[in-house]
Amino acid sequence: MLTQTELKQNVADAAVEYILPLLRPDVVLGVGTGSTVDLFIDALAPYKNRLRGAVSSSERSTARLEAQGIQVFDLNQVQGMPVYVDGADEIDHGLNMIKGGGGALTREKIVASVADQFLCIVDESKLVQCLGGFPLPVEVIPMAREAVARRLARLGGKPVLRAGFVTDNACQILDVAGLAIARPTELESVINGIPGVVSCGLFAHAGADVVLISTQDGVRRLDKNSS
Ligand SMILES: O=C(CO)[C@H](O)[C@H](O)COP(=O)(O)O
């Protein structure tokens, strides 16, 4: 029986296999945040001379990339990237995701938006029929926190401040349990439209293009257009 860490290692290795054909000396990769991505960064390190570098979605990943000798570029220095690699807290069969368990959702969404494709890497515990078991992270501007929390409660959620946590954007996170996420695209728009919300952890307007799922029987792949 593989442990969750071993499952994450296997999908990190599979992600490196996936991106190897895309590497060229002028290529910059988009890199997400989290424990699965940490393993991906380490697995990528032996190939660092085959790429120009990376754009990172968090201070955490920047530190890990630089420790592995992979150059990190500011997004403003980069025109585009062939692929963005990141984990998820939940993903459904339509490749809609909940992200932000690590609190990096806003930068993740920004970097992903510049990439040609989003490669999601998860272990099988993250694949769900319907999103919402994992409380939805919502990044808020601190002065709007309580006003946003009231609006989220009116949508049926139970927002809880992530205590002691400050995002890389000097903002706060409300983790919202209890939301019925039958229509993720609509809910993403509604929450993003609340004044004071920086972004919410629903990735439905721009979900994953490909997901690699680590299982006890190996890594399997789902593509957006075939799922
Ligand atoms: O969205 C994220 C960080 O903001 C991560 O991708 C998500 O939390 C999954 O993390 P892990 O790979 O540690 O399970």
Residue ranges matching CATH 3.40.50.1360 in the chain:
4-129+205-226
From the CA of 101, give the closest atom in ligand 1.
Answer: 8
For residue 161, the CA-to-ligand 1 centroid distance in Å is 18
Whole-model pTM: value is 0.96
Catalytic residue among 6, 90, 108, 139: 108
User: Residues enclosing ligand 1, CB less than 6 A?
Assistant: 32-36, 86-89, 99-105, 108
Q: How many CB atoms lie within 10 A of CB 58?
A: 23
Q: Give dist(CA 102, CA 219) in Å, integer.
A: 23
Fold of 136-201: Alpha-Beta Plaits (3.30.70)
Nearest-Å Rg of the Cα atoms of the chain is 17
> 94 by DSSP, 3-state: which?
coil
Establish whether 108 is a catalytic residue: yes
From the CA of 100, give the closest atom in ligand 1.
Answer: 4
Q: Give dist(CA 48, CA 28) in Å, integer.
A: 11
Backbone angles phi, psi at 37, to 5 degrees: -65, -35
CATH 3.30.1490.100 applies to domain 4-129+205-226: no
Q: Give dist(CA 11, CA 217) in Å, integer.
A: 12
From the CA of 126, give the closest atom in ligand 1.
Answer: 14
Mutate to test the pocket of ligand 1, among 35, 59, 128, 173 (most ligand atoms within 8 A of CB): 35
Classify the complex by whether its ipTM is higher than 0.90, answering yes or no: yes
Q: Give dist(CA 27, CA 84) in Å, integer.
A: 12
Backbone angles phi, psi at 162, to 5 degrees: -75, 100
Residue ranges matching CATH 3.30.70.260 in the chain:
136-201
Give pLDDT tens digits along the chain (227 positions). Answer: 999 999 999 999 999 999 999 999 999 999 999 999 999 999 999 999 999 999 999 999 999 999 999 999 999 999 999 999 999 999 999 999 999 999 999 999 999 999 999 999 999 999 999 999 999 999 999 999 999 999 999 999 999 999 999 999 999 999 999 998 999 999 999 999 999 999 999 999 999 999 999 999 999 999 997 75
For residue 114, the CA-to-ligand 1 centroid distance in Å is 19
